[in-house]
Amino acid sequence: MWENFWADLVKLLPQFVATISGVFLAFVLDRVVDWGYRRRDRRKLKRDLQNELLEIKGKLFPKTKSVLALYPDI
């Protein structure tokens, strides 16, 4: 009885290892993809903040030194 058990277990071992390896690989790939998305989002946020700060700087310190440039609604 135990001889059959161990023989069957040895036959199932490669399939078990392949399954566990596939699941582990899927988790690793998911982490890599998420890391890439977070990195892209951080770069986009940094670029947007930089553009907004440059726009504010242009409004606060205009090159023409005109008061009308500070108040575009006038």
DSSP state of 73: T
Q: Specify the pLDDT at position 64.
A: 61
Q: What ranges do the domains of the chain cover?
A: 22-62
Q: Does residue 74 surpass a pLDDT of 70?
A: no
Structure tokens belonging to residue 24: 């582990």
Q: Report pLDDT digits (tens) over 21-70.
A: 999 999 999 999 999 999 999 999 999 999 998 888 887 776 665 555 55
Q: How far apart are CA 36 and CA 48, in angstroms?
A: 18
3-class secondary structure, 59: helix
